[in-house]
Structure 1
Amino acid sequence: MATITVRDLDDEVRSRLRVRAAENGRSMEAEVRAILEEAVRPSRLERRRAALARFRAAAEAAGGMDDLFDAIPPRDSYSPPREVDLGP
């Protein structure tokens, strides 16, 4: 694990950090870790772009989009949903 030292932290920032940590039931150190983890977590857009890139790579490996979609069985090949009796 790495250690980071933050120098010249404004007193107001430190005070707000202390309050925020207390509100979340964490130490100031744990609160700073949570803030940093959230700041560098991939955004929803980045996750979607990564998923699309994986899909495109899978399509390319399968021989292209057409071959990939051809591998999906036709809708009429699925069995119909079964009926469920929920009683009176």
Structure 2
Amino acid sequence: NQKCPPKSQEADDKRQAAREVIDILQEISDLLNTNLDRTELSLCVSLIENGVNPDALATVIKDLRKETGAKRVGNAHAVE
């Protein structure tokens, strides 16, 4: 008879596994030059796990980057 690990050990194991997944995703993200940090990746994973369409999420991220990039360029010209 094998005993189940204590609840706290089980929770620690799950957290460690989640960290490892994010580590791997961060490496892939870096290779693909997504410019997403660990927090942003974690949020994306959470959204996808909760049913958000990955393609739609990618589109929203791209659109937000275009908007903020355009605003940054506009602000830079306003300062000059």
Answer 1 or 2: which has greater helix percent: 2
Higher RCO structure (Cα 8 Å, ≥6 apart): 2
TM-score (norm 2): 0.33
Structure index of larger Rg: 1
TM-score (norm 1): 0.30
